[in-house]
Amino acid sequence: MALSDDVNSRPLVLLVDDEKVSLKILSDLLKHEVDIALAKNGLQALEKIKQNKPDLILMDVLMPGMDGFEVINILKADKAFEAIPVIFITGLNSAGEEERGLTLGAQDYIHKPFSPEVVKARVATQLKIVRQRLQLQRLSDELIEASEAKSRFLANMSHEIRTPLTSIIGYAEGITQGDFDNQFINKAVSIIAQNGQHLLNVVNEILDLSKIEANKLEIELLDMDLIALLGSIESLMMQQAQGKGLTFAIDYQFPLPSVINSDPTRLKQILLNLINNAIKFTEQGSVTVRVKTTADDQLAFCVEDTGIGLTPAQMDKLFADFTQVDSSVARKYGGTGLGLSIARSLANKLGGDISVESEAKVGSQFTVTTDMVMPEQSVWIEDREALEQKRARGAVTAKEEIPTLSGTVLLAEDHHDNRALFSQLLKRMGLDVTAVENGEQAVEQSMMEDFDLIFLDIQMPVMDGISAMKIIKSTAPGVPIVALTANAMTTEIEKYLAEGFTDHISKPIDRRVFISLVQHYFDAAVEGDFDLDENELDALKVQFVEGLVQGLEEIKQQLASDDWHNLGAQAHAIKGSAPMYGFDELGDIADRLEIAAKHNQPEQMRILAQALIDNIDSILTTH
């Protein structure tokens, strides 16, 4: 095998000489390091070059018939062979002949009688050059391919970014220009939010890729509720799947651990990527996620679909960056082409991998495995019944609760829209908010008033967040100060905390994380309240159901008398507690009823109140 086939194989050297003694000597010298092919004349040499494509040719000049110069002329005129280096071996001591040979393209000369050391050294040098040239050629080919892939990626990115922006800008302008009636405005805002989220996902994928390339992709290992995570994914994906007429299900293959030590954000990212792809590439049938443990104590999540499937050639390039399986798929289905590459990098970070089995036009199965580290508090869930009980005990609500707090907050954020958003959110929690534009104003306010909690953006004009924090801490050392960071790298966060910040939250903020963080600093007694044992929970559930009996009568009266205010209050109470006992649907209806009450929508309230009554009736019948 020549170096051109495998750069790590033994090189092939062709020895050409009409004197057999020269062939014998050279062969004997070189055969331990290289593979040998032989030729006695120019014609035979050309045949063997075509057959074997050697890495190096050692050739006599003076041969009967076709001499060495004629052979090299023919080689250099053929693109397939012109790069093969030639060393002439000669018994003639002629400078003119040497000049001619070198001019024709020979790399070197060896004189007879041979010195073994000289022969070996010259051959080794030329073969080293051949290896380097092949490696450079391979590198060049890879770089060209990477460059072409990046060009395709940029073209695709332009589409992926511009498409949601079109909706965002378009609908926003429509709202400001009064193009939509009141009924449609909520929907328009919802569309803006969805597209904004999609755009954020695209940006995050690009940032994740740059982190992977810089070897800075980070995971944060936490004790996480596996069942809650899967439940959240099911909620997110069910609607999307059903919207396409697909069935979607999570198939729990017991036993499964209740809690594992992993990175919930990244694990969710991987699973959402795979499920999104499955839904995207399936027009009819189903998407199923099978969750199980493996023989080597890992967790496996198998996302199976009945979609378009993949050919073997498509599977080969599946996990490469910037690659959709082919451009027609990219045009039809969209996508950045980064998701699987990132997903695999994340899976590797979590101690596992992603594999795929697929058949074109039948469907695909993507399996992600991760380490399964069970912390102390984790238990084995053995069957479906245990799973439902776990869910009932879990403090999972379908919609987020915004707590009612009391206190003062100082917010320094130079971006107007962000400042307005954070302020609104804090005020909804019942807090008094002072919002300023820069660090200097924050320092001034902190000197005029005592605050219970301070949020400081880092990058601000006039005075940045770090400078402001240091001044504030020197005068009010006990107040918690939270950094609002756009840069979420661990090293940067560690730096802010080392500088003196109490905590941090990354932008764009996750509402639930933000609410939880604020609640933490205002109400430290939240944790541990839901740690009930089974009997206590059953007793509370019975109590709740008994309470529904009276509640049902009150709702009917409030509906009959159009008592929207009290109906709203009733809905609020049910919304907060129903999901805790596994009555998710009841909690959902109550939540929507409360929202309709707040927005003063009587017609909506009538419909929802009736739905609430029907649901309570159903619960009372079965419990």
Partner 1 sequence: MPHKDLSNEQLLLAINRVDGLDALKALDGMSGQTSLYLKLVKNFAQDQHGRADELQALFQAKDWEVLKRRCHSLKSYSAYVGAYELNHLCADAEAKLNKGSVDQSVIEAICRLLDPLVEKLRQIVIDNETPSAKAEFNLLQFKKDLIALLPLLEQSDFGAEEALQKLMQITEGRDHHHTLQQIYSYVDDVEYEIAVEETRKLLESLV
Looking at residues 361 to 420 of the shown chain, list those that interact with partner 1 (rule: CB under 8 A).
Answer: none
Q: How far apart are CA 340 and CA 314, in angstroms?
A: 13
Please, which residue, 98 or 263, has the CB nearer to partner 1?
A: 98
Cβ 68 vs Cβ 60: under 8 Å: yes
Rounded Cα–Cα distance for residues 483 and 456 (Å): 5
Please, are residues 397 and 278 in contact by the beta-carbon 8 Å criterion? no
> Shortest Cβ distance from residue 18 to partner 1 (Å)?
8
* Secondary structure (H, E, C), 433-459: EEEECCHHHHHHHHHHCCCCEEEEECC
Interface map 480-499 toward partner 1 (x if CB under 8 A): --------------------
Residue 307, phi-psi category: left (phi > 0), alpha (psi -120 to 50), beta (remainder): beta
Site string for partner 1, 49-78 (x = CB under 8 A): --x----------x-x--------------
CA distances from 120 to 3, 44, 263, 345 (A): 18, 24, 58, 46
Q: Which one of the spans 108-116, 203-211, 364-372, 381-389 is the region binding partner 1 (CB under 8 A)?
A: 108-116
Q: CB under 8 A: which stretch of 32-40, 130-138, 249-257, 393-401 binds partner 1?
A: 32-40
Find residue 365's DSSP bridge partners: 304, 357
Q: Any contact of residue 95 with partner 1 (CB under 8 A)?
A: no
Q: How wide is the angle at C-alpha 563 spanned by C-alphas 560 and 567, nearest 5°?
A: 100
Single out the segment in contact with partner 1 by CB under 8 A; choices: 31-39, 78-86, 134-142, 262-270.
31-39
The count of other CB atoms within 10 Å of the CB of residue 404 is 10
111-119, 302-310, 454-462, 548-556 -> range binding partner 1 (CB under 8 A): 111-119
φ, ψ for residue 579, nearest 5 deg: -65, -25
First-to-final CA distance of the chain: 78
Q: How far is the CB of 25 from partner 1 (least distance, A)?
A: 7
CB-nearer residue toward partner 1: 113 or 243: 113
Taking the C-alpha atoms of residue 372 and residue 393, their distance in angstroms, rounded to an integer, is: 23
Q: Which phi and psi (to 5°) does residue 416 adopt?
A: -60, -50
Give the sign of the dihedral formed by CA 226, CA 229, CA 233, CA 238. positive
Any bridge partners for residue 410, and if so which?
A: 434, 454
Q: Beta strands 286-293 and 363-371: pairing type? A: unpaired
Other Cβ atoms less than 10 A from the Cβ of 268: the count is 16
- Judged by CB under 8 A, the stretch of 114-122, 139-147, 467-475, 560-568 that binds partner 1 is 114-122
Binding residues among 426-455 for partner 1 as defined by CB under 8 A: none
Stretch that binds partner 1, among 16-24, 302-310, 545-553, 585-593 (CB under 8 A): 16-24
Token digits for 103?
Answer: 């001019």
C-alpha 189/C-alpha 186 separation (Å) is 5
Which span sits near partner 1 by CB under 8 A: 20-28, 77-85, 367-375, 578-586? 20-28
Q: Does 31 bind partner 1 (CB under 8 A)?
A: yes
Under the criterion CB under 8 A, does residue 110 sit at the interface with partner 1?
no
Give the closest residue to 426 by CA, choosing from 439, 443, 412, 442. 412
Kindly tell me which of 34 and 270 has the beta carbon lying closer to partner 1.
34
**Residue placing its CB nearer to partner 1 in the complex, 62 or 189:** 62
Q: How far is the CB of 77 from partner 1 (least distance, A)?
A: 25
C-alpha separations of 518 from 332, 453, 512, 530 in Å = 44, 8, 10, 19
Of 191, 192, 185, 211, residue with least CA distance to 269: 211
**Could you say which of 37, 233, 250, 412 contacts partner 1 (CB under 8 A)?**
37
**Smallest separation, CB 91 to partner 1 (Å):** 5
Residue 51 beta carbon to partner 1: minimum distance, rounded to whole angstroms = 7
Q: Using CB under 8 A, which of 7, 44, 452, 552 touches partner 1?
A: 44
DSSP letter at 578 equals G
Q: Are strands 408-412 and 432-436 parallel, antiparallel or unpaired?
A: parallel
For 269, the token pair is 């990212």
C-alpha closest to that of 548 among 577, 524, 523: 577
- Decide whether 21 or 139 has the Cβ nearer to partner 1: 21
Tokens of 306: 């009945």
Binding-site size, partner 1 (CB under 8 A): 29
Report the residue number, 23 or 302, with the smaller CB distance to partner 1.
Answer: 23
Among 19, 371, 401, 437, binds partner 1 (CB under 8 A): 19
Query: Smaller CB distance to partner 1: residue 118 or 395?
Result: 118
Q: How far is the CB of 117 from partner 1 (least distance, A)?
A: 7
Decide whether 62 or 320 has the Cβ nearer to partner 1. Answer: 62
Closer to partner 1 by CB, 52 or 610: give it. Answer: 52
Shortest spacing between CB 33 and partner 1, in angstroms: 12
Based on CB atoms, which residue is closest to partner 1, 19 or 503? 19
Residue 4: CB minimum distance to partner 1, A:
18
Given candidates 8, 96, 103, 113, which one binds partner 1 under the rule CB under 8 A? 113
Write the DSSP symbol of residue 3. T
Of 110-118, 122-130, 352-360, 552-560, the segment contacting partner 1 by CB under 8 A is 110-118
Name residue 141's amino acid.
Answer: D
**Rg over CA atoms, the chain:** 36
Question: In this chain, which of 6, 9, 24, 428 binds partner 1, going by CB under 8 A?
Answer: 24
38 touches partner 1 (CB under 8 A): yes
- Class of residue 477 by CB neighbours under 10 A (exposed 0-12, middle 13-18, buried 19+): exposed
Q: Closest approach of Cβ 39 to partner 1, in Å?
A: 6
Of the candidate residues 1, 6, 21, 382, the single one contacting partner 1 (CB under 8 A)? 21
Nearest Cα to Cα of residue 16 among 92, 72, 74: 72
Are 539 and 577 in contact by the 8 Å Cβ rule? The answer is no
Q: Applying CB under 8 A, does 181 fall inside the site for partner 1?
A: no
Chain residues 278-307 in contact with partner 1, contact rule CB under 8 A? none
Q: Which of 112, 507, 520, 572 binds partner 1 (CB under 8 A)?
A: 112
Tell me which of 1, 5, 9, 28 binds partner 1, using CB under 8 A: 28
Cβ distance to partner 1 smaller for residue 70 or 492: 70
Q: Which residues bind partner 1 (CB under 8 A)?
A: 18-25, 27-28, 31, 35-40, 44, 48, 51, 62, 64, 91-92, 112-113, 115-117
